[in-house]
Amino acid sequence: MRILGIETSCDETAVAIVKDGKTVLSSVISSSKDEFADMGGVIPEQAARRQIEYIIPTVTKALLTANCSIEDIDAIAVTTEPGLLVSLLVGRTTARTLASIWQKPLLEVHHTYGHLCSVFLDLDEEPAFPCLALSVSGGHTELWHRTSHAMGTKIAETRDDAVGEAFDKGAAMLGLPYPGGPSISRAAATGNPEAYSFPSPLKDERTLDWSFSGLKTALKYTIQENTDYNVNDIAASYENALCAHLVNRLQRATSEYNVQEIHVVGGVSANATLRRLLTETFPNHTIRVPKDIVYCTDNGAMIASAGYFLQSV
Ligand code: KG4
Ligand code: ZN
């Protein structure tokens, strides 16, 4: 079964064709993120305007790259929520129109569920269920207990900012370009993660939830109090604190849930420090991240995969 997946929830216009939920035949991503490098974040109206410009050429390119004609497509999957309203609308309207004129079923996919399926893309072996799945992006930070490709329960989430948002806002405070995750990582690569100390949020609470707003405030005060700060050291210390908080909760979760695998998905799963901390902390678990780094951030392939597994329940 070949599904064409459309993802337009933010500043990426992404279209892909995926066979049987796993084999990526094409994955095309047009992005306006470079336009926001100096803005500290996405300007919704500008991102939506680019979605309108990019969507049809991106659909066309995805079909051409996969060497598929319209007859080869069995269904169309699209992100319905959450995200920037007008950007989402561009994808939904395109998907509905194509489904109607091509006479294909339309599969509606929640963005987070799409990310959760990104670990199945181009995967040869079967994952071991049940597993824990950490989904970390600019819009959400959630922990899921998953029992199959399509089923699962959310067991924890952030009480305030998403971790990706903490990276993005932190980068803006440090004068580093948007998106903040990669730019903080680049600066952190030559910094000392122990140069500045940051608090451990919610450390005395028996919860699996996260809170990132305190770390963001701590960064603001660290910058104010150390006018001659070293940007690499502060980026490394902040990145380390964000990742340590993520891993700390996960450690608690593994003592409550008996699982062999931990999936880590979403834009922040591309982070090298997070990946290293996870491997060090969980030597007896399989840490599964998306096979290709491009499947960490928003893409159409994860939406096509999610559409496949949803309709096969
Ligand atoms: O999943 P995604 O593409 O979009 C949302 O669903 O939000 O995630 C984007 C987020 C941004 O906040 C970005 O700064 C962060 O993922 N990100 C990273 C890295 N690459 C992207 N955060 C940390 N390290 C990275 N290497
Ligand atoms: Zn996303």
Q: What is the mean pLDDT of the chain?
A: 97
At residue 312, does pLDDT exceed 90?
Answer: no
What count of Cα atoms within 13 Å lies in the side-chain half-sphere of residue 52? Answer: 7
Q: Which of 28-32, 202-206, 307-311 has the lowest mean pLDDT?
A: 202-206
Supply 43's token pair. 């300007």
Atom from ligand 1 closest to the CA of residue 164: 12
Write the pLDDT tens digit of every residue in 157-206.
999 999 999 999 999 999 999 999 999 999 999 999 999 999 999 999 99
**DSSP notation for 55-77:** HHHHHHHHHHHTT--GGG--EEE
CA–CA distance, 163 with 165 (Å, rounded to integer): 5
The amino acid present at 81, given as its one-letter code, is: E
The amino acid present at 172, given as its one-letter code, is: A
CB neighbour list of residue 204: distance below 8 Å, 6 or more residues apart: none
State the chain's maximal CA–CA distance in angstroms.
Answer: 63
C-alpha gyration radius of the chain: 20
Answer yes or no: is the C-beta of 182 below 6 A from any ligand 1 atom. Answer: yes
pLDDT band at 40 (very low <50, low <70, confident <90, very high): confident
CA–CA distance, 77 with 140 (Å, rounded to integer): 21
Write the pLDDT tens digit of every residue in 265-303.
999 999 999 999 999 999 999 999 999 999 999 999 999
CA–CA distance, 182 with 235 (Å, rounded to integer): 11
Q: Which of 292, 249, 257, 294 is nearest to 274 (CA)?
A: 249
Q: How far is the CA of 305 from the centre of ligand 2 (A)?
A: 14
Q: How far is the CA of 44 from the centre of ligand 2 (A)?
A: 15
Q: Alpha carbon of 181 to those of 140, 166, 168, 196, 287: distances in Å?
A: 14, 9, 6, 19, 20
Q: Alpha carbon of 251 to those of 125, 147, 240, 277: distances in Å?
A: 25, 19, 16, 11
Ligand 1 atom 13 nearest Cα: 181
**DSSP notation for 78-137:** EEEESS-HHHHHHHHHHHHHHHHHHT--EEEEEHHHHHHHGGGTT--SPP-SSEEEEEE-
Write the pLDDT tens digit of every residue in 94-151.
999 999 999 999 999 999 999 999 999 999 999 999 999 999 999 999 999 999 999 9
Residue that is written with structure tokens 């399926």 in the block: 117
Atom from ligand 1 closest to the CA of residue 139: 7
At residue 313, does pLDDT exceed 90?
Answer: no
**Does this model's pTM top 0.85?**
yes
Q: Write down the pLDDT at residue 130.
A: 98
Cβ–Cβ < 8 Å for 129, 153: no
CB neighbour list of residue 166: distance below 8 Å, 6 or more residues apart: 212, 213, 215, 216, 242
79 bridge partner residues: 109
Ligand 1 atom 22 nearest Cα: 181
Q: Write down the pLDDT at residue 58.
A: 98
Q: How far is the CA of 10 from the centre of ligand 2 (A)?
A: 8
At residue 48, does pLDDT exceed 90?
Answer: yes
CA–CA distance, 273 with 184 (Å, rounded to integer): 11
Q: What would the mean pLDDT of 214-227 be, rounded to a whole number? A: 97
Q: What would the mean pLDDT of 224-253 be, rounded to a whole number? A: 97
CB neighbour list of residue 283: distance below 8 Å, 6 or more residues apart: none
